[in-house]
């Protein structure tokens, strides 16, 4: 085993010398502040008090002048003291950040450093990989050889009239243009973004521990010699191929889909190829709070990007992303409607087609048990005139269906008969999924293995930004 004593001696000596110098620097700043305070106290004690004068016009004017001068002097002294205090705080912060850097430089090679415990990019040690695996597991990230799994949920509210830029982000980052949010073991009940701090870093550590080799993010190089249009050259990202999958339960069945089947490239009028993603591992920068090295993917909450972004963990390698016209493949993406029933009576499971203002309910679920809906549910909403309406569902092959304009708005609910009596829905529950990141191709199951229908693009497809 390697003797680390020289490293410890060097680290201790460097820290001692640096902290001694820092102490003298801070002491000098504090002595400056003390000296100014003593000067103020001395002036206040030695300045003779003005004798009372008769309240004639001249005395009043002289008194006002002296009061104004005292006010101006006090403001000047206060400004100087505030400036010194600010400078002292900045010096202490600089000392803290510099100390962190020295610790990182003197740490034993291959050892995690800083509050984020990141290893140097390259070939990690066995101890470093074990630490990465522990950190990932503690954050709810499952690590297997060549595979990483983490929990998330389907975002049902991305804008469908604009191109997409992300496939997976940390909740609630870019909710208008991402399809899946990653949350780990957390649920959406009273969830704040700060509760998920460190999750993206844990996913990164999971990638490294699972054996993925980190590459380099995409970039724009100077124009090629002789290019008359002087167009920057896009350089594709490098790194191990990442096959991205989504696993979920819907309709009482297990489904596994390829993420690339959920994104359409209008330039080819097809879905993305399976091997479209690369593990670039994001960039690194200083954490403004601690001065430690951190991932920019952690700061931005970016996991999988379908638009060139060097701050994501996983980036797309197709040059067509520069046109910024990728669309979600809504024909393949599930459309769940999981309605929460009042009084703890379980859930209603179904699907919702927003384009048709249609809702199909398939089963009642409570405590893991699914049962068919025996009687027709009733949609409770409002008509076009704002008046309350009650619309009964119609029996169809897959369950019970209703089609009504009231579903276009959020002010609706469902009344249904349960074994415990009639009740109403009180809200929605998201479709929780498992995000799969694999070094080998994803094997589709259920709806994910269904034959691919011809791609149909909307007539009002956004024009995009054009090639950068």
Domain ranges of the chain: 10-35+74-107, 120-221+233-328+431-451, 336-428
User: How large is the average pLDDT for residues 130-139?
Assistant: 96
Is a pLDDT exceeding 70 seen at residue 221? yes
What is the structure's pLDDT at 40?
A: 53
Domain 336-428 -> CATH class? mainly beta
Q: Is 384 exposed, middle or buried (0-12, 13-18, 19+ CB in 10 A)?
A: exposed
* Higher pLDDT, residue 222 or 92: 222
Cβ contact 277:241 at 8 Å: yes
Give, in order, the Cα–Cα distances in Å from 303 to each of 124, 168, 307, 382: 22, 5, 12, 40
pLDDT band at 24 (very low <50, low <70, confident <90, very high): low
Q: In this structure, how many other beta carbons lie within 10 angstroms of the beta carbon of residue 392?
A: 12
Cβ contact 457:264 at 8 Å: yes
Lowest mean pLDDT among 75-89, 180-194, 269-283: 75-89
Rg (the chain; Cα; Å): 32
Question: What is the pLDDT of the chain when averaged over all its residues?
Answer: 83
Does an H or E element contain 181, and which? Answer: strand 178-182
What is the structure's pLDDT at 224?
A: 85
Is a pLDDT exceeding 70 seen at residue 4? no
What is the structure's pLDDT at 63?
A: 75
What is the structure's pLDDT at 411?
A: 84
Give, in order, the Cα–Cα distances in Å from 153 to each of 4, 11, 246, 271, 400: 46, 45, 10, 22, 25
What is the structure's pLDDT at 147?
A: 98
Q: How far apart are CA 126 and CA 128, in angstroms?
A: 5
Is a pLDDT exceeding 90 seen at residue 45? no
* Higher pLDDT, residue 358 or 114: 358
Q: How far apart are CA 245 and CA 291, in angstroms?
A: 36
Is a pLDDT exceeding 80 seen at residue 434? yes
What is the structure's pLDDT at 460?
A: 66
Nearest to 438 by CA among 244, 181, 200, 305: 244
User: What confidence tens digit (pLDDT) does each residue in 116-131 have?
Assistant: 889 988 888 999 999 9
Peptide bond into 172 cis (omega under 30): yes
User: What confidence tens digit (pLDDT) does each residue in 249-292 have?
Assistant: 988 899 999 999 999 999 999 999 999 999 999 999 887 777 78
């Amino acid at each position: 085993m390697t003797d680390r004593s020289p490293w410890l001696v060097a680290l201790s000596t460097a820290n001692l010398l640096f902290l001694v110098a820092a102490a003298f620097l801070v002491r000098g700043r504090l002595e400056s502040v003390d000296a100014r305070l003593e000067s103020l106290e001395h002036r206040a004690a030695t300045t003779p008090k003005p004798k009372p004068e008769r309240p004639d016009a001249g005395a009043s004017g002289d008194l006002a002048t002296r009061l104004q001068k005292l006010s101006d002097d006090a403001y000047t002294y206060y400004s100087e003291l505030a400036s010194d205090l600010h400078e002292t705080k900045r010096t202490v912060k600089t000392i803290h950040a510099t100390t962190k850097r020295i610790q990182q430089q003197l740490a034993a090679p291959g050892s995690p450093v800083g509050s984020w415990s990141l290893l140097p990019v390259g070939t990690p040690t066995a101890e470093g990989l074990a630490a990465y695996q522990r950190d990932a597991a503690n954050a709810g990230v499952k690590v297997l050889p060549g595979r990483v799994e983490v929990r998330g949920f389907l975002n049902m509210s991305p804008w469908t009239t604009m191109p997409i830029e992300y496939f997976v982000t940390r909740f609630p980052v870019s909710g208008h243009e991402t399809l899946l949010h990653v949350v780990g073991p957390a649920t959406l009940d009273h969830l704040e973004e700060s509760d998920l701090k460190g999750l993206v870093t844990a996913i990164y550590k999971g990638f490294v521990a699972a054996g993925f080799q980190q590459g380099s993010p995409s970039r724009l190089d100077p124009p090629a010699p002789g290019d008359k249009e002087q167009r920057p050259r896009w350089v594709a990202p490098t790194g191990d191929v990442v096959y991205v999958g989504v696993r979920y339960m819907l309709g009482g069945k297990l489904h596994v889909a390829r993420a690339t089947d959920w994104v359409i490239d209008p330039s080819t009028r097809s879905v993305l190829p399976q091997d479209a993603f690369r593990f670039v591992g994001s960039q690194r920068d200083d954490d403004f709070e601690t001065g430690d090295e951190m991932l920019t993917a952690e700061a931005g909450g970016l996991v999988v990007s379908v638009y060139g972004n060097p701050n994501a963990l996983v980036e797309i390698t197709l040059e067509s992303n520069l046109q910024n016209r990728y669309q979600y493949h809504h024909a393949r993406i599930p459309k769940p409607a999981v309605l929460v029933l009042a009084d703890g009576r379980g859930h209603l499971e179904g699907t919702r087609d927003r384009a048709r203002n249609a809702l199909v309910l398939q089963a009642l679920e409570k405590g893991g048990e699914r049962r068919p809906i025996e009687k027709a549910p009733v949609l409770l909403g409002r008509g076009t005139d704002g008046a309350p309406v009650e619309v009964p569902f119609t029996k169809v092959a897959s369950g019970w269906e209703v089609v009504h304009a009231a579903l276009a708005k959020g002010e609706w609910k469902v009344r249904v008969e349960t074994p415990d009596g009639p009740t109403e829905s009180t809200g929605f529950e998201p479709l929780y999924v498992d995000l799969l990141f694999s070094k080998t191709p994803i094997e589709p199951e259920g709806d994910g293995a269904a034959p691919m229908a011809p791609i149909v693009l909307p007539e009002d497809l956004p024009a995009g930004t054009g090639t950068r």
